[in-house]
Amino acid sequence: MADSNVDVINHLIEQEKQAEGLLHEAQAEAERRIAKARAEAERDYKARYDQVIGGLEADFKAQSAKIESAHQEKSAEYQRRLEALKADTAAFNAYLDKLLER
């Protein structure tokens, strides 16, 4: 009877060791799958991020060039208008004389 109890206890201990081994294997597999999924998600995120940023940068550059061009055109037009004005020194001097007489 004592031998059969020892055999049963040894069998249970062996089963416990097997269960512990299976648990460790399952944990290792779960960690491996999680790491793989995380790496894949990060890769997908980076690809999408780069795509969005690339589009935004291209749009920014296009809009900046358009604004710069419009600014240069307006500045050139303003400069042309200033250069086309004739200086009316007689009227200016008369205005100054009028202001100084008061």
| pLDDT digits 0-9 by tens, 38-80 | 999 999 999 999 999 999 999 999 999 999 999 999 999 999 9
CA distance 52 to 59: 11
| pTM, full prediction | 0.55
Q: How many domains does the chain have?
A: 1
For residues 26 and 85, the model is more confident at: 26
Domain range for 84: 2-101
Q: Please tell me the distance from the alpha carbon of residue 41 to that of residue 34, in angstroms, as a whole number.
A: 10
Higher pLDDT, 2 or 81: 81
